[in-house]
Amino acid sequence: MIIMGFSTLQTFPLIEGLTGPQTLDVLHKRITALGARVSGQFVVDCETYFSAPSLLPGNSQRVLNVLHNTEEPASVFAILEGGAKQPVLVADTLLDALLPKMAVLYTSNKKQTRIESKGNRYEMGDFVVKLGSVTMSGSFKGILVEVCYLACVVPALCWEMVWEFMQSFLGSTVPSTLPPYIQSRQNATFSPTDTIQMYLEKFNEFRKQTVAR
């Protein structure tokens, strides 16, 4: 698997009085003013499958999340929720073809559960920034900002520098501590599965928001 730098992910609250696209436009202006240039589009999407009642004893149900990231176009990530550890299965795109055939075991209601973050990808030196507009079953949910520093793979070594970079265009919305997910593994080598796990965490937060409302 390709190792590619260290990524961190945060939500960006809508600027008061502005819509989602308008807020994104403000961010676009800020980051291009810094010298970053657009280097294409990106999408991270997630579909959720639920285990059939017959699969597990009792009434317990397991949730299988299947994610794609345009940064890793040849891979499909599958994460089984629940349990102490969340194993990440990295498969090639054949998994997408296989899942419909497993409908007896895992079913999905695509229209309701599909969530994605989509937008511009920017480059500046060794930094990559992705400004994503999050939509769930077609409706806008919020903004996710991913910042990746390609030249370093150990979060503890470069976190302060990445933080300084994020502050330069996200301002005070950047939390002063490492995201909890990274905190626990800041001395380990970062990998694309870590990025995908962080996206899943954030997607689940967005989903809960809708439940609360």
Partner 1 sequence: MAEKTVESLSKALDCVQQLRTSVCDVFRYMTEGNSESGDDDTQRKQYVINLKETLNTVTRRLHDVEESVNKLSVPSGAFQLGNTGFLSLDPTLDMQVLYGRLLDSYKWTEKVRDYSAFAVPIWAQNGVKRSQQTALVRKRRMAQTSHCQPPQHVDAILKTIGGTFNGMQLSISRPYGTNSAVVQVDLDHVLKAVITFKGLLIEWVLIRGYDEPMLTEDGRVDLWTPSDYHVFRKVSENAQAAMVHYYGPLYPEFSLRSYLTWIYSYMKLFSEPCVKCGSRLLNAMPPTWRDLKTLQPYHEDCKS
Q: Which residues bind partner 1 (CB under 8 A)?
A: 3-4, 34-36, 124-127, 149-154, 157-158, 160-161, 164-165, 168, 189
- Residue 78 CB, shortest distance to partner 1, in Å, is 25
CA distance 60 to 181: 26
Task: List all residues 6 or more positions away from 188 whose beta carbon is below 8 Å from its beta carbon.
Answer: 154
Q: Let me know: does 197 contact 180? Beta carbons within 8 Å.
A: no
- Residue 37 CB, shortest distance to partner 1, in Å, is 11
Helix axis angle for 20-34 and 155-170, nearest 10°, is: 110
Question: Among residues 91 and 124, whose Cβ is nearest to partner 1?
Answer: 124
- Residue 3 CB, shortest distance to partner 1, in Å, is 4
Question: Among residues 86 and 167, whose Cβ is nearest to partner 1?
Answer: 167
Question: Among residues 32 and 137, whose Cβ is nearest to partner 1?
Answer: 32
CA 149 to chain centre: 16
- Residue 41 CB, shortest distance to partner 1, in Å, is 21
Question: Among residues 55 and 161, whose Cβ is nearest to partner 1?
Answer: 161
- Residue 143 CB, shortest distance to partner 1, in Å, is 22
CA distance 117 to 43: 6
Torsion angles phi and psi, residue 73, rounded to 5: -65, -20
Element (H, E) at 183: helix 180-183
Question: Among residues 34 and 95, whose Cβ is nearest to partner 1?
Answer: 34
